[in-house]
Structure 1
Amino acid sequence: MSELNILYFASLREALGCSGERLALPDGVRTVGALREHLAARGEGWAALGAGRNVRAALDQRMVGPDAPLAGGEEVAFFPPVTGG
């Protein structure tokens, strides 16, 4: 079974109450965008990952869009946009 290592940063970590998890690649989830939808469907704080929320994603430490493919074994990180000054 292929697993993903998922990391949550900054305000997402606070909203979800965890900094990460290992998750078996769900059936039918083949892209980063589909993974985000799958996680958001958990409800409550997970809505922070939902559609319309400004969330960025990295796959194996490289910025990616929602169409980036998943095969299992990857590290996926979700985080809000970072601002600084």
Structure 2
Amino acid sequence: MKISILFFGMARDLVDNSSLEIKLPSKSTVASFKEFLSNEFPELQKMSSYAVAINQNYATDETLIQENDIIAIIPPVSGG
């Protein structure tokens, strides 16, 4: 299945791209997607953690990814 990935902040810098389209196996979860990202973009491991949003909603590791989903990789943010 085809999905779009949007990278923000430090994630964008680490993969040197702001967006990509990729293919994943059907019935992929956020956890398996994170494993894919770690293998494809080892530089992402420099982030201590990151959030994943699917179609503008935060997702858990168990969330199933669907065809044509837009997945955002959101690094940790701090404020003051």
Same fold, TM-score > 0.5, yes or no: yes
Change (3 A) 1:68 1:9: same
Distance in 2 between residues matched to 1:69 and 1:4, nearest whole Å: 12
Does the 8 A contact of 1:12 with 1:48 survive in 2? no
Change (3 A) 1:82 1:33: same
Does the 8 A contact of 1:6 with 1:20 survive in 2? yes
Instruction: Tell me which residue corresponds to 1:68.
Output: 63
The equivalences for 1:12-31 within 5 A come to: 12-25=11-24, 27=25, 30-31=28-29
Unpaired runs of 5+ residues, structure 1, are: none
Paired positions, count? 80
Unpaired runs of 5+ residues, structure 2, are: none
Normalised by the length of structure 1, the TM-score is 0.81
> 1:34-85 deviations in whole A, cap 9, x for unaligned?
1111111125424347xxx311010100011111101221000111122211
Normalised by the length of structure 2, the TM-score is 0.85
Query: After the TM superposition, which segments of 4 or more aligned residues of structure 1 sit over 4 Å from their partners?
Result: none
RMSD, matched Cα:
1.9
